[in-house]
Structure 1
């Protein structure tokens, strides 16, 4: 039986148990992380950001829980204009002010980066999609176009299993347990990718970033919070919206994407038939996001 294990072999190739190829196989290394900057916000929290591209329009990208710039960058491929990727408080090099935190604080981070850069469009991933919901509930006309990729919650808190998985990730990162962190992070990968060169490269990059920057304990408080108390708060939103979900994702139930699309006026909904969209449907996803934002 072949299985996943950590640490990876030193030559970079996957190792499997049982019959199969045994020669060293070198995986393509992950791209080096680009140089980012810390920007001061009006609410006193410095946030890490990366700006790519030039000209207008400007699009801000908000990442998911325990994720960051590196994971959201593929969504900007093909998007015209300037792209602003940033790290929420408690992630990467961004400040981690004293908690507790709610989606209100995340919305403030997102709004500040958007205002400072003059962004008229926004892409929110998972946690970032929730923050984007709150921004639009408070300011329905703030963005012209909005993309919600794999929204995790709307007006109901996360399921118990999802909360436990993310709580475990915070705890293992804080404990510095590389093997345990790898076990949790590996669940982000489709089973077919976990023991491949591409899978090892992704794991190395994610684990290196998590162990270097850590995760603020105050993030745990977000697991019981919701972006909006009533989806009707999104009825006045004027932005053209695209909601993208997928079937079979424990952290991002497809029902959340469907309910969010129903709450946003005239929203377009697309549902993929299996999880791991960034691995199994990357080209289609990039084209779909770029086509919508450039439209």
Structure 2
């Protein structure tokens, strides 16, 4: 495989040698992004929110560290009812209150959006999964169904690879250098995807958001914390839960997903056999999440 580079080729796709398909290739997003809104919360932090779909049930989707609404929406593509997406503090257009922050602060963000939107179900990815765990310790009966995708930490801090990745990303975003940001963001993609039109589209979208809205430096402090002191605190959560992990993802160890599933009384665990599941197992992931939530 040829190495990743930025900016992308003029035609938007990877350079190939020799004969091949001659159709136009593009790495541009297919559709414009929907307009979001800023909502006031009871704890005084305005959060960026997007609501799509109609009817019941309502599901709130909490994103991962340094990600946001755009990267969370694919998980909801087949989920019925009202879907509520938002950006945690320090992400996107949401407020950046004085730090340091804790998982309790993130749980308050998540709880406020869920309450204001009337959501009865919740999905949390990575950092969002940790915030959801913290919320459930305070309010174990808040949601009727739960999905945890690639939980990154439970009652032990995240490993050093996540710290270095976030440090590199914060420096790159602060510099405003698109190439430097792309170098860091490209590590989120499976190697086979990095030099494809879909990979370029993902990178363009991520760069647009990060260079436009920035990323709060106080987020780095969360990597030294844990959502819970003891995973056994989740024993009062009786709602059905789906926990999704994968083998080989250093920033989202499969052991965390296994520990979370063991701590939740009504959890089902599914483990994929390789990382990058949003790219390599998209159809199965879409069906698995929607089948669980569309009950």
The TM-score, its normalising length taken from structure 1, stands at 0.96
> 2:28: which partner in 1?
29
CA distance in 2, matches of 1:123, 1:165: 24
Q: How many pairs were matched up? A: 293
Q: Tell me the SS of whatever aligns to 1:235.
A: helix
On the 8 A contact 1:13/1:197 being kept in 2, the answer is yes
> 1:294: which partner in 2?
294
On the 8 A contact 2:27/2:199 being kept in 1, the answer is no
> 1:198: which partner in 2?
198
Where structure 1 has 5 or more consecutive residues not aligned to the other structure, the ranges are none
Where structure 2 has 5 or more consecutive residues not aligned to the other structure, the ranges are none
Matches within 5 A, 1:51-90: 51-90=51-90
Once the two structures are TM-superposed, the CA of residue 147 in structure 1 deviates from its matched residue by: 0.2
Output one character per residue of 1:235-273: Cα deviation in whole Å (capped at 9) or x when no partner.
011211100001111111111000000001020000011
On the 8 A contact 2:238/2:266 being kept in 1, the answer is no
> 1:222: which partner in 2?
222
| Runs of 4+ residues deviating >4 angstroms | 19-25
On the 8 A contact 2:154/2:256 being kept in 1, the answer is yes
Matches within 5 A, 1:1-295: 2-15=2-15, 19-20=17-18, 25-30=24-29, 31-295=31-295
On the 8 A contact 1:14/1:25 being kept in 2, the answer is no
Distance 1:194 1:25, change over 3 A: farther
Q: Tell me the SS of whatever aligns to 2:236.
A: coil
Once the two structures are TM-superposed, the CA of residue 197 in structure 1 deviates from its matched residue by: 0.7
Once the two structures are TM-superposed, the CA of residue 10 in structure 1 deviates from its matched residue by: 2.6
